[in-house]
Homo-oligomer: A and B are copies of this chain.
Amino acid sequence: MHSPDQVIVYRDQVRYTYRGLRERVGRLASLLQELGVQFGDTVAMMDWDSHRYLESFYGVPMMGAVLQTVNVRLSPDQILYTLNHARPKVLLVNSDFAPILNEIRGRLDSVHRIVWISDDGVQAPSDTAGDYEVLMANSDPNFTFEDFDENTVATTFYTTGTTGLPKGVFFTHRQLVLHTLVTMAAISSPASGQRFHTGDVYMPLTPMFHVHAWGMPYVALQMGVKQVYPGRYIPDALVRSIQKERVTFSHCVPTVLQMVLNAAAAGSVDLRGWKVVIGGSALSEALAGKAVSQGIDIFAGYGMSETCPILTLAQIRPRHDGLREAEELSLRCRAGAPVPLVALRTVDDSFKDVTSGGEIVVRAPWLTQGYAGNESASEALWQGGYLHTADIGALTGGYLKITDRIKDVIKTGGEWVSSLEVEDLLSRHDSVSEVAVIGVPDTQWGERPVALIVPRTAGVLNESELRDFLMNFVVQGLISRYAIPSKFQIVDALDKTSVGKLDKKILRTRFAS
């Protein structure tokens, strides 16, 4: 074991060494085995970013079980759907999610045992297996981890990227190891700047349920660096942790960075020397410029849940020396250059390479092999032997730039909103004749949904009535609160394509600028 004395920190509450992590990973496996988990079973995790989550990153896959990282930002009904689809035997759940758990518990098909997690001393309900820490203390640290096939599935996660129901992606041990090695090689190799190295202090600011916090905790452990897990993202607390633990490397969506910058400004905290990879949504030059001017080494990356996720990183290479500041800023905001082993093309409808305006399709050994139990969507994803990102891009000078999106979805604060789903719900309102939901750029959230509505009778509809109407579905757990459009605009007619479908491309041009 390397770096046995290196430290892992959870908020102000826990501080232990890599040696301690290894011991607790053994305890976790023993505990899960005791609860009936066997090779091939699934274990679901619902927690904030914590040392416990890190323990599950290793303990569950290492015993040959599958870790389901539950997206706690989904609506209760969507969470229920993902749990009943992945069929975990055991669920580890933070007491903060008790309201969700209570709502769905009676409808959970597969969960036999629940392990209770609490930071605040909330006692484990009697119908659970007990408290995580109590159970861990009573478990054997000397679990024997056997060798098994590298193509065994290690983790699964549900993405709401495209339409309707969440879809399960899954990754094998082989894929996680390759993704870890390639990411470590790519992210540490620059001469200086835009790099993560063995002298850094790491704190994720992408939820650990989101494709393993972009795989970075696995990289951090290989690096042997100090790791800081922040719990729930509360801007003031994040800034305090960054300052107190001297965090030097993080990654997040633009919205979270904006939150942190605001909190740092309010508290007069100096973030100089902090390095941040931005992904999930486009990094605007305005935000990047603001960060750079505060001494933050910011750069973009690109990937998606289906791709484990890292495909490209916008690191500045030695050949870029002498770039003007504005050019360098523009480079930092591109999707970046493919990391090793990623074959990336931009192709037209007939799969011919085009220099710009083509769909980005990729091959790499760590891409999800399909959506769990959804053959048609899997086939569409891998049409022609390449994974289809549904993003439109251009490759110039080896650097990818995303220019448009094929999928009819909106990304707000790093989370996907299906416009089709919101359209479906709004169309149930008696006064709505036709509706289109589009994403419009938003400085805080990246994008926000806007509803364009053709009323049955002119002048009858008003915004607050529609908002209340959708709120019912939020309360019912069908959609997330952030899916409610920021604006409801009455229009005379909606543009259609030649086959009569909504022409979102034109609608976006007309209404989203």
Contacts and interface: CB of A to CB of B under 8 A. Distances in A.
A177 interface: yes
A188 interface: yes
Contacts of A191: 197-200
A337 B2 contact: yes
A19 to B, nearest CB: 11
Interface stretch (A86-94, A127-135, A157-165, A179-187): A179-187
Contacts of A4: 398
A192 B199 contact: yes
A318 interface: yes
Nearest to A398: B2
A317 B200 CA distance: 11
A189 interface: yes
Contacts of A200: 191
A287 to B, nearest CB: 26
A224 interface: yes
A148 to B, nearest CB: 14
Contacts of A188: 185, 188-189
Contacts of A181: 178, 181-182, 185, 340-341
A3 B398 contact: yes
A262 to B, nearest CB: 30
A182 B341 CA distance: 13
A185 B182 CA distance: 7
Interface residues of A, number: 32
Contacts of A398: 1-4
Contacts of A318: 198-199
A1 B4 CA distance: 39
A5 B224 contact: no
A462 interface: no
Contact of A198 (B177, B182, B190, B224): B190
A200 B191 CA distance: 8
A215 interface: no
Interface string A437-449: 0000000000000
Contacts of A224: 317
Interface in A117-158: none
A433 interface: no
A111 interface: no
A189 B2 contact: no
Nearest to A340: B222
A5 B3 CA distance: 39
A338 interface: yes
Contacts of A198: 189-191, 317-318
A63 to B, nearest CB: 18
Interface of A: 1-6, 177-178, 181-182, 184-185, 188-192, 197-200, 222-224, 317-319, 337-338, 340-341, 398
The 3 lowest CB-CB distance pairs between A and B, nearest first, are: A191-B199, A184-B185, A188-B189
5 contacts: A3-B319, A178-B181, A185-B188, A185-B222, A198-B318
Given A188-B188, A189-B223, A191-B200, 14 more contacts: A1-B398, A2-B338, A3-B319, A3-B398, A177-B341, A181-B181, A184-B185, A185-B222, A190-B197, A190-B199, A191-B199, A192-B199, A198-B317, A198-B318
